[in-house]
Chains A and B, each alone.
Chain A
Amino acid sequence: SEKIDLDAWKKVMKSGLQEEVSETVSEPKELSALAAAREIVEMWRLAGRSVPENMSDEQLKTFIECPSKSAKKKYLKYLHLKELYKKNDKRKMEEKRERKLVAQEQASETSKTKNTSFVCLWASSMDRAYNWRAAQSMVFGQPLVFDMSYENDMSVREVANTVRQLVLSESSNRRSVDPFHIHFCNLKDDSLYHKEFVKHYREAWDKLLVTVTDQCYTQIFPKDKLIYLTADSPKVMKTFDHDKVYIIGSMVDKSIKTGVSLARAKRLGLETAALPLEKYLLWNSGAKNLTLDQMMHILLTLKDTGDWKKALEFVPKRKYCGFVSRP
């Protein structure tokens, strides 16, 4: 049989380069820091690491400023995943659009008018109904306070996550049968929280049916009505009290900072409480602190039903392995 030329690939690799080399000659010798970083990231991508395909100059700057190698790696991975999710979403959107077009074509073929007594205005009429309820809650609803004084305890990304959770909380509150009157207390106008809120809500931020104030809750409500909810509290909540004002700390702590919100309540001399997680759930793993939207779901359910079991269904399933049979 014929002999295999084992070094044939080297010839191929070396042959295509002449043009490339001549191309690089015209480039300036000193690469700017940004260009150099871009090149490194590109090489990592070629090496098969989790690295985004496209990066803005701003992202590259953040990348360069990462204090350590592992921080750099983490940041790139984060951007990579973000890019993946975005691409997936886009793909799904396009598929949906195509399906819709096909469906429309089919519908026009069989064109048939439906008989119904309602005009189809679902989204906007629902919005109006929700807003009506939220407006009522502004007058008659039980207050629920989000304490917005944790900006200095968080990184920029943690603040962004916090606001995302708050947006989710506000929307599930608006959609509930009997919404809370939400108070964002200690919220300063020039704060990062505020900027993130505006990013999410845009013009709707000023029309939101919630109370936003830079005052502390202790200035708005009598102290003996306030209960600060914190996982570090030594006191366990037994029942939901409709006459109290519950406070939730608007904080996401990725590196668990124990006792920060408990310290805040202690300083102001407020009563504290933790959810009775261990009384009702066979805890599996994970921290006892829950996300803000989970807290909102739990409190809404408690307010409506007073049923702990139903309320604690909103604790993520991975964190517990079942309910205690007889609490």
Chain B
Amino acid sequence: SRIQPPEKPLKSEEWNRLRENFQSPEVFEEVMLNSMIKSNSPIDVAKSLLTQVAQSNGDIAYNLLVKYLALCVQQGQTAEIQEMYDIMKIRFKTLESGAYSLLIKGLSNSDQWKMALSLLEEVKKIMIPSRTNYESCIKAAGRHQEMSLAFELYHDMLSKDLMPTLDILKALFDFSRGMKDAELQKELFGILLHLRENQIYPHKTFMRSIKLWFESIPGGNWRGHLTNIKDSGQCPVCSHQLEDSDLTEEEYNNLRERIIKDVIHGTDTFRKTSPQEFEAFQTFVENRLPFDIVIDGLNVSHIKLKKMQCENLFDAVNYLAKGKTRVLVLGRKHMLSNSSNWRREIMKEMQSKADFFFAENISEDDAFLLYATLQSGKHCKFVTRDFLRDHKACLTDSLTRHLFRKWQRGHQIVFSPSEGGKPIKFLPAFRYDCVVQTTGDTWHIPYKDIFEEKYSYQVPRKWLCIQRK
């Protein structure tokens, strides 16, 4: 049972009557103000309530003031917001983050936006401002064409380890449209490189802002086109060949070492395997190197639920082990037990086409998968439907996590979804790297169709190609 706020200001007696009829009078004002915010009541109504409180108590509690402030911000009552700041400042030595955020938000949208900036400075004295605090200020600066100020704030938040929202980045592009300023251009290229380094993909509307900015640079002669990149990695618009997803020698070795250290051994080798087993696996791999494809047998055996598990695996091995391709299948010991899902004769036949390693039933074969693939060299790919997210999470530093993702994009073979009785198919690993990239005269920017990014492993297939004519 929500209470309906009155439409017109009430006198003290009238408020008192309402209060007495309310089930829990001690929170009456709070509930009433909340409901005023919800139904966006005229501020005069709220004022009359505050007057009643002040007259009967001689004071108004902080939380009520903040709620009234929220109502003022909601309605863009700039003068009132400023007065609230004065009142609160005299009453309290310091304010808390909720009130500051409201004040910054309210003032940044008004002609008093510079006051929002000084409030941001005030917040910094007691805590790290939030991303939305910065967002309000950056957008205010941008709206008033003070781009160097906007970028100063942007760098300030980066220095505090606050990841700017895509909204902030988009605003910076939007407000810079049509400006001819070399310094500004450098800053915006910097944002694109920030997207590259952090493997962030802009969404469609953000991409459009980027395109419009490029095309608006006076005398820049930039043209943008939307396109799909071919499997070969060539851009159909400008025929530019995209960067490949190979890691450098140093990056590759670094990644391999980290995987062995963080993922396989971690805090305790016994958690995922045992030292004896891992050693046995290492010897096994060293004696048979290099492989071209490493398959997570158990994972692949579940592709089609209607089929026997060993048949699924058999199909995959037949599909992948063609010609001279050397395939390694990782499994668990229980696969050898001749059960209804694992028929001995089929297992025998598979073992003539590929190498098999069977781990203990309680060991984690994913760790082995990564090890065998990385040990085989840069050309080697791996097959699993697993997204390997928990392994990525084991990696201790963000740089290695990025390397891991880059390597994963270029080396993981996934199934193409096929219906009904059709045989299984695999999508080849990407030959090019799906990341923002530039040659100076061209920019290629992958983007997502929708704003929400559900899975970090999902790589966009659509691109914005920008070139200088």
- Taking Cβ atoms with an 8 Å cutoff, the residues of A that contact B are 2, 4-10, 12-14, 16-17, 20-21, 24, 36, 39-40, 43-44, 46-48, 69, 234, 258-260, 262-264, 266-267
Contact = CB atoms under 8 A, between A and B. Distances in A.
Given A39-B93, A46-B63, A260-B271, A14 B51 contact: no
Given A47-B63, A47-B96, A259-B271, A10 B87 contact: yes
A9 B50 contact: yes
B55 A43 contact: no
B51 A13 contact: no
A36 B54 contact: no
Contacts of A40: 94, 96, 126-127
Contacts, number: 97
Contact of A12 (B59, B127, B269): B59
A43 B94 contact: yes
B94 A39 contact: yes
Contacts of B83: 10
Contacts of B98: 47
A16 B87 contact: no
Interface residues of B, number: 41
B455 interface: no
Q: Is the interface of A mostly helix, strand, loop or mixed?
A: helix
A4 B271 contact: no
B9 A9 contact: no
Nearest to B43: A6
B51 A263 contact: no
B11 A4 contact: yes
Given A6-B48, A12-B58, 19 more contacts: A4-B9, A6-B51, A9-B50, A10-B87, A12-B55, A12-B59, A13-B90, A14-B90, A16-B59, A39-B93, A39-B94, A43-B94, A46-B61, A46-B63, A47-B63, A48-B30, A234-B361, A260-B268, A263-B269
Q: 8 tightest A-B contacts by CB?
A: A263-B270, A46-B62, A9-B54, A43-B96, A12-B54, A6-B47, A9-B50, A259-B271
Nearest to B47: A6
A266 B63 contact: no
23 contacts: A4-B10, A6-B9, A6-B47, A9-B51, A9-B53, A9-B54, A12-B60, A13-B87, A14-B90, A17-B90, A17-B91, A36-B94, A36-B126, A43-B95, A46-B61, A47-B63, A47-B96, A47-B98, A234-B362, A259-B270, A262-B362, A263-B268, A263-B270
Nearest to A233: B362
A13 B96 CA distance: 19
Interface in B17-73: 30, 44, 47-48, 50-51, 53-55, 58-63, 66
Contacts of B99: 47
Nearest to B98: A47
A39 B48 CA distance: 30
Given A10-B87, A12-B55, A43-B62, A266 B48 contact: no
